[in-house]
Chain A
């Protein structure tokens, strides 16, 4: 069995599962946020359920529109807060919280071998820990909160092997953007992606989270990395419950095996209005920018901020654009502060915000006007994603974002002296 099949089999009491099987899966953790929880709570109550199956396995994180951007958002956050308090759920208030998919691994709430379902499409981020994690809608989550299980169809697994050493300034973001550019936004539709190879082994945990995070942008149900010493070093000081490390069998059957030589991959930029519209940075051309955003569940971790600071140190951003930097969690923020990264950002002319999803989905804290163009380390560049339907979003890694903020146009870090 593949890694995904092993985890799913262990969670449905079967010795073996195969792609296409309908199974009833026991879940280790359930997640919802301030946009999806209100609908889930409504359906939970309509179901007639009184208590969640296990309050220590249900997490609610306000992160999309908080600190509350308007009165309706405040009402949604209030509804979620009250439910979390009544039910005794794991809940992180503004000030302790952050972007859910940066926060949960950091807090040791997701562990290798887990099955996690979250009412957020980027729940697949936790695949980096060797967990089977997948996004669902609010009604699925409502029923899972009541029963502790959920039906799934076992997905086929596509194995992606990344050979070789990445070039300087190439990170997890570039590998996943390149992959999506090759296979398309439905290239892994309904499938589990399994990431492996020398280049994945060499990636930091932060880089692996970035890769797994964007599996959904290829249509995948999950994006899973194998557990190694780096994973265990990350998990050991954080875990507060036991976990199981699964490994794919040598004779596992894959729907396809895709291999890339990463030494040939440049930093990537996804042009509007679809993440698969990628180009190597050398072919980006002259694209002037109004705004640059560094942050999100894709690239709002400490390593991302360190890379941005390395480029921005002692420099000034271009006067014709705004640079908005958003640490993923309070923990990331505090570490960045201690390391002097925040001072570097502010001296360079960046606006630094409290953790929030904010601009990534056009919520607030950096919404675009018609005709404006933004380069972002986020995950989606759909029409209107960051504001006006007449604005444009380009996606890249933190190094390209920082260099571009200095030069006022999409630029390679190599262009910064």
Chain B
């Protein structure tokens, strides 16, 4: 997957990703309209389908609201690359099929607007604009299976169908 980078700092919490006043609905398109509104009210007008978010440490900290990765995915973001993720956000992103990768170097050496190419299965990240390559820690197989299936529910359904 290839997309343009948007960059954020450390400790981006789920309250700024999707403020609680919008949690009275769960429709992904509606949530996407307010994605990142708490930190960048113009993000949603700049983002293009297939774009990538770069962020610092502890991305997605705070509330367990799954509405946060849902809003990011529905806003058209294909992948979040951060120095580290908060643990509930990590599970939620995998569970709803939003690809996320941990790679400190890629975040540090890339700028907003750079074009990045990501290979999920291997964890390879290429900064096409700067001609740099990075490697994120790859997922355990079962987690890659969840992401490839589109999320935990579809993965579980596939397993049931295959009788696993």
Enumerate chain A interface residues (CB-CB to B < 8 A): 22, 35-36, 38-39, 42-43, 46-48, 64-65, 69-70, 72-73, 76, 118-121, 123, 135-140, 142-143, 151, 185-186, 189-190, 216, 219, 221, 274, 361-363, 367, 380, 382-385, 389
Contact A380 B11, CB 8 Å, known A36-B64, A136-B91, A389-B38: no
Looking at the assembled complex, report how far the CB atom of A73 sits from the nearest CB atom of chain B, in whole angstroms. Answer: 4
Quick check: is B96 within 8 A (CB to CB) of the other chain? Answer: yes
Q: Which residue of A lies closest to B89 (CB)?
A: A137
B153 near A140: Cβ-Cβ < 8 Å: no
Further pairs besides A39-B26, A383-B15, A383-B16: 17, Cβ < 8 Å = A35-B23, A36-B65, A76-B25, A121-B62, A121-B88, A137-B64, A137-B65, A139-B92, A139-B153, A143-B152, A143-B156, A186-B11, A186-B86, A189-B58, A219-B87, A361-B15, A380-B13
Question: Which residues of the other chain, B, contact A185 by a CB distance below 8 angstroms?
Answer: 11, 58, 61
Would you list which residues of chain B between 54 and 76 have a CB under 8 Å from chain A?
A: 57-58, 61-67, 69-70
B153 near A137: Cβ-Cβ < 8 Å: no
A189 near B88: Cβ-Cβ < 8 Å: no
B153 near A46: Cβ-Cβ < 8 Å: yes
Question: Which residues of the other chain, B, contact A274 by a CB distance below 8 angstroms?
Answer: 11
Quick check: is B131 within 8 A (CB to CB) of the other chain? Answer: no
Looking at the assembled complex, report how far the CB atom of A140 sits from the nearest CB atom of chain B, in whole angstroms. Answer: 6
Expressed in whole angstroms, the Cα–Cα distance for A363 and B26 within the complex equals: 15
- Which 4 residue pairs of A and B lie closest in terms of their CB atoms, listed nearest first? A137-B92, A137-B66, A72-B24, A139-B95
A382 near B66: Cβ-Cβ < 8 Å: no
A36 near B16: Cβ-Cβ < 8 Å: no
Question: Which residues of the other chain, B, contact A43 by a CB distance below 8 angstroms?
Answer: 153
Question: Which residues of the other chain, A, contact B96 by a CB distance below 8 angstroms?
Answer: 137, 139
Question: Which residues of the other chain, A, contact B151 by a CB distance below 8 angstroms?
Answer: 139
Question: Which residues of the other chain, A, contact B13 by a CB distance below 8 angstroms?
Answer: 380, 382
Question: Which residues of the other chain, A, contact B157 by a CB distance below 8 angstroms?
Answer: 47-48
Q: Which residue of A lies closest to B10 (CB)?
A: A186
Looking at the assembled complex, report how far the CB atom of A51 sits from the nearest CB atom of chain B, in whole angstroms. Answer: 15
A189 near B87: Cβ-Cβ < 8 Å: yes
Expressed in whole angstroms, the Cα–Cα distance for A38 and B142 within the complex equals: 27
Looking at the assembled complex, report how far the CB atom of B61 sits from the nearest CB atom of chain A, in whole angstroms. Answer: 6
Expressed in whole angstroms, the Cα–Cα distance for A15 and B80 within the complex equals: 38
Question: Which residues of the other chain, A, contact B95 by a CB distance below 8 angstroms?
Answer: 137, 139-140
A219 near B38: Cβ-Cβ < 8 Å: no
A42 near B26: Cβ-Cβ < 8 Å: yes
Expressed in whole angstroms, the Cα–Cα distance for A121 and B84 within the complex equals: 18
Expressed in whole angstroms, the Cα–Cα distance for A186 and B57 within the complex equals: 8
Looking at the assembled complex, report how far the CB atom of A79 sits from the nearest CB atom of chain B, in whole angstroms. Answer: 10
Q: Among the listed B16, B58, B152, B160, which residue makes an inter-chain contact with A219, where contact means beta carbons less than 8 Å apart?
A: B58
Question: Which residues of the other chain, A, contact B64 by a CB distance below 8 angstroms?
Answer: 36, 118-121, 123, 135-137
Quick check: is B46 within 8 A (CB to CB) of the other chain? Answer: no
Looking at the assembled complex, report how far the CB atom of A127 sits from the nearest CB atom of chain B, in whole angstroms. Answer: 15
Expressed in whole angstroms, the Cα–Cα distance for A39 and B69 within the complex equals: 13
Q: Among the listed B21, B69, B88, which residue makes an inter-chain contact with A136, where contact means beta carbons less than 8 Å apart?
A: B88
B91 near A186: Cβ-Cβ < 8 Å: no
Quick check: is B140 within 8 A (CB to CB) of the other chain? Answer: yes
Quick check: is B29 within 8 A (CB to CB) of the other chain? Answer: no
Would you list which residues of chain B between 1 and 59 have a CB under 8 Å from chain A?
A: 11, 13, 15-16, 19-21, 23-26, 38-39, 41, 57-58
A140 near B15: Cβ-Cβ < 8 Å: no
Interchain residue pairs with CB less than 8 A apart (24):
A36-B64, A39-B26, A39-B67, A64-B20, A65-B23, A72-B24, A119-B64, A121-B62, A121-B88, A136-B88, A137-B64, A137-B91, A137-B92, A139-B152, A151-B142, A186-B61, A189-B86, A216-B62, A219-B87, A362-B20, A383-B16, A384-B15, A384-B38, A385-B15
Expressed in whole angstroms, the Cα–Cα distance for A251 and B160 within the complex equals: 42
Expressed in whole angstroms, the Cα–Cα distance for A108 and B142 within the complex equals: 36
Q: Which residue of B lies closest to A367 (CB)?
A: B21
A39 near B61: Cβ-Cβ < 8 Å: no
Expressed in whole angstroms, the Cα–Cα distance for A151 and B23 within the complex equals: 27
Question: Which residues of the other chain, A, contact B61 by a CB distance below 8 angstroms?
Answer: 185-186, 219
Expressed in whole angstroms, the Cα–Cα distance for A47 and B157 within the complex equals: 6
Question: Which residues of the other chain, B, contact A120 by a CB distance below 8 angstroms?
Answer: 63-64
Looking at the assembled complex, report how far the CB atom of B129 sits from the nearest CB atom of chain A, in whole angstroms. Answer: 29
Expressed in whole angstroms, the Cα–Cα distance for A123 and B96 within the complex equals: 21
Looking at the assembled complex, report how far the CB atom of A372 sits from the nearest CB atom of chain B, in whole angstroms. Answer: 15
Contact A38 B26, CB 8 Å, known A186-B58, A189-B58: yes
Question: Which residues of the other chain, A, contact B26 by a CB distance below 8 angstroms?
Answer: 38-39, 42, 76
B88 near A47: Cβ-Cβ < 8 Å: no
